[in-house]
Amino acid sequence: MSDVDKNKGEKKVKKTSIPRTPIPEQSPKERAKNFEEVALGYTRDQALIEASRCLQCKKPKCVAGCPVGIDIPAFIQALADDDPAAAIAKLKETTSFPAVCGRVCPQEDQCEKLCILGRKHEPVAIGRLERYAADREAQNGEGARPEKAPKKGKHVGVVGSGPAGVTAAGELAKMGYGVTIYEALHKPGGVLVYGIPEFRLPKTIVQRECEYVESLGVEIKLDYVIGRTMTIDQMLENGHDAVFLANGAGLPSFLNIPGENFNGVYSANEFLTRANLMKAYRFPDYDTPIKVGKRVAVIGGGNVAMDAARTALRLGAEVHLIYRRSMEELPARKEEVHHAQEEGIEFHLLTNPVRIKGDQDGWVEEIEVIKMELGEPDAGGRRRPIPIEGSETMIPIDTVIVAVGTRANPLLTKSTKGLELNKWGNIVADEHTLQTSKEGVFAGGDIVTGAATVILAMGAGKIAARSIGRYLQGQPLLTPEEEEELKAAAEKAGVAAR
Ligand code: FAD
Ligand code: SF4
């Protein structure tokens, strides 16, 4: 009998006196040498205790913090009742990938940030509980399959198999539409497979979610580059009644400093793709090694930079993370920064690269950096980093990984007439319906918003599916009630409706 079961019936403990339950993790020393998941997940007892901390607020603030509006108190109550099946059913009403979101969503800036318990105490560990519910479902075998609607005789083409594309495809299949996803890479999942490393998100989980969508009748065509193998116009001419563009924003940005073309300089996207998708970390089991050398510099301070740094560390390198602002402005999740520090990544804050020096064979040898200080806030509200003249130093290095952001890849949009783009090359889509300027074409996820989050991409997939369903039925994309709601919200905010 577990401790929780033994304690049942004993005097009630005040919820606010129970501390937030830590999640078991591999020790930093051990995990720095392997690619297995860092966090191990709650046991049943831990989940019961953590779920019991929820106040079951009458007006729960946490829900407003969730981009897809999960009924958080309801799924936590089911866990407190030791009914993970009911919890997962509740979660799946609103999120398609709870095992993914429970692991990678920035809950500290979303639901947990608004948790009422968190005002005076530590917030409920909503993300960890979501993960627990999803993992219990996986352990117990097949999850519930939703009823499929009768076939509607229409077909939708989805470009990209990241969270936006897969979510939309699943929703459309459930509505009774035929759906084909076209994916440029040889595995489905988007950033979830090629970007986020195994030690944060095991690939079996992503595979399971993609297989679930396939079991709903969705066809996934791999190694299929839309804009090359087939254009969007050809998709519309050849059997697709509507198209959803969910091709992400995977084109890397560079620093534009001298020496960036030396051998040994990678974009974080290339580095992570080689390590994750091409399985370089499992060389020689996989015949696709990657050369990192002894000392690696990672440039940037976001989640992508942390993932690249921690991957390089696990491949055996000493890693130097170079970021031009201070710890306060560092955009990566606090948990990832903490993990990176624990594992031994050396942070060079208020430091900016100036040039990369190579040897006579064209390989990276050193990186020159300059110290920075923070000046007045810029247009985005963050204090502007200013170089301190004369503070330049050289750091000997074998590899440089540039993780300073990504943009929309123009390959698909350039080959498509009539598709409006913004000044950054992202597709312009109506924020409430995701309809683009091209008839029958919808777009969502990172390709519209620029690099964002998994949950926002999933939310876009849901909106797109709803709009495409209505479009294919010849209905208005927004119901009169939705139009009214938007009008009222806009009036309240003092702006024109749309
Ligand atoms: P993507 O996931 O980028 O998927 C787009 C898919 O379209 C890709 O598979 C691509 O190959 C395919 N494609 C592109 N062009 C074509 C074409 N022409 N034809 C066919 N297919 C095409 N978010 C979080 O919430 N938490 C995190 O911890 C987090 N960590 C991240 C770590 C890394 C390293 C990266 C890169 C991103 C991270 N993000 C994180 C961001 C998050 O992963 C993205 O916001 C999200 O994946 C966007 O989903 P999407 O479906 O729009 O696009
Ligand atoms: Fe529970 Fe916090 Fe949500 Fe209240 S705000 S219902 S305590 S998770």
Q: pLDDT tens-digit profile of 171-229?
A: 999 999 999 999 999 999 999 999 999 999 999 999 988 998 998 899 999 999 999 99
Ligand having the closest approach to the CA of 58: 2
Top mean-pLDDT range of 411-415, 469-473, 489-493: 469-473
Can you tell me which atom of ligand 1 is nearest the CA of 224?
A: 20
CB atoms within 10 A of CB 489: 11
Encoded tokens for 169: 């495809």
Give the per-residue pLDDT at 497. Answer: 47
Helix axes 454-472 and 163-175, enclosed angle (nearest 10): 30
Provide DSSP, 140-174: TSPPPPPPPPPP-S-EEEEE--SHHHHHHHHHHHH
Write the DSSP symbol of residue 416. Answer: -
Proportion of the chain above pLDDT 90, given as a percent: 75
Identify residue 336 by its one-letter amino acid code: E
d(CA 271, CA 292): 9
pLDDT in tens, 84-106: 999 999 998 888 789 999 999 99
Encoded tokens for 430: 């109506």
pTM of the model as a whole: 0.90
Tell me whether strands 251-252 and 406-407 are parallel, antiparallel or unpaired. antiparallel
Lowest mean pLDDT among 64-68, 385-389, 490-494: 490-494
Give the per-residue pLDDT at 75. Answer: 96
Q: Which residues line ligand 2 (CB under 6 A)?
A: 54-57, 60-62, 72-73, 115-117, 124, 126
Beta bridge partners of 347: 321
- Which residue do the tokens 């055996």 mark? 316
Beta bridge partners of 30: none
Region 352-362 average pLDDT: 95
C-alpha 465 – ligand 2 centre gap (Å):
30
Q: Is 10's pLDDT higher than 70?
A: no
C-alpha 104 – ligand 1 centre gap (Å):
13
Give the per-residue pLDDT at 432. Answer: 94
Region 310-329 average pLDDT: 94
d(CA 380, CA 267): 25
C-alpha 192 – ligand 1 centre gap (Å):
7
Q: Is the CB of 184 under 6 A from ligand 1?
A: yes
Give the per-residue pLDDT at 370. Answer: 97
C-alpha Rg value of the chain to the nearest Å: 24
d(CA 118, CA 109): 12
Encoded tokens for 318: 């000493």
Proportion of the chain above pLDDT 70, given as a percent: 95
Q: Is the CB of 185 under 6 A from ligand 1?
A: yes
Q: Is 1's pLDDT higher than 60?
A: no
d(CA 64, CA 84): 23
Q: Is 444's pLDDT higher than 60?
A: yes
Region 6-26 average pLDDT: 77
Beta bridge partners of 263: 363
Give the per-residue pLDDT at 3. Answer: 54
Give the per-residue pLDDT at 143. Answer: 61
Kindly compute the dihedral angle of the four CA atoms of residues 100, 193, 444, 380, in this order, to the nearest 10 degrees. 80
Q: Is the CB of 182 under 6 A from ligand 1?
A: yes
Q: Is the CB of 445 under 6 A from ligand 1?
A: yes
Cα angle 290, 294, 295 (rounded to 5 degrees) comes to: 100
Provide DSSP, 359-376: -TTSBEEEEEEEEEEEEE
Kindly compute the dihedral angle of the four CA atoms of residues 88, 91, 92, 95, in this order, to the nearest 10 degrees. -140
d(CA 146, CA 166): 16
Query: What is the pLDDT confidence band of residue 265, given thresholds at 50, 70 and 90?
Result: very high
97-117 b/e (C-beta count within 10 Å ≥ 16 → b): bbbbbbbbbbbeebbbebbbb
Give the per-residue pLDDT at 282. Answer: 72
Q: Is 150's pLDDT higher than 50?
A: yes
d(CA 263, CA 270): 13
d(CA 227, CA 234): 10
Encoded tokens for 51: 């779920």
Distance of CA 17 to the CA centre of its chain: 33
Beta bridge partners of 299: 322, 402
pLDDT in tens, 280-317: 777 777 777 788 889 999 999 999 999 999 999 999 99
C-alpha 219 – ligand 1 centre gap (Å):
20
Q: Is 498's pLDDT higher than 50?
A: no
CB 402 within 8 A of CB 447: no
Region 46-54 average pLDDT: 96
C-alpha 78 – ligand 2 centre gap (Å):
14
Write the DSSP symbol of residue 97. Answer: -
Q: Is the CB of 336 under 6 A from ligand 1?
A: no
Give the per-residue pLDDT at 159. Answer: 98
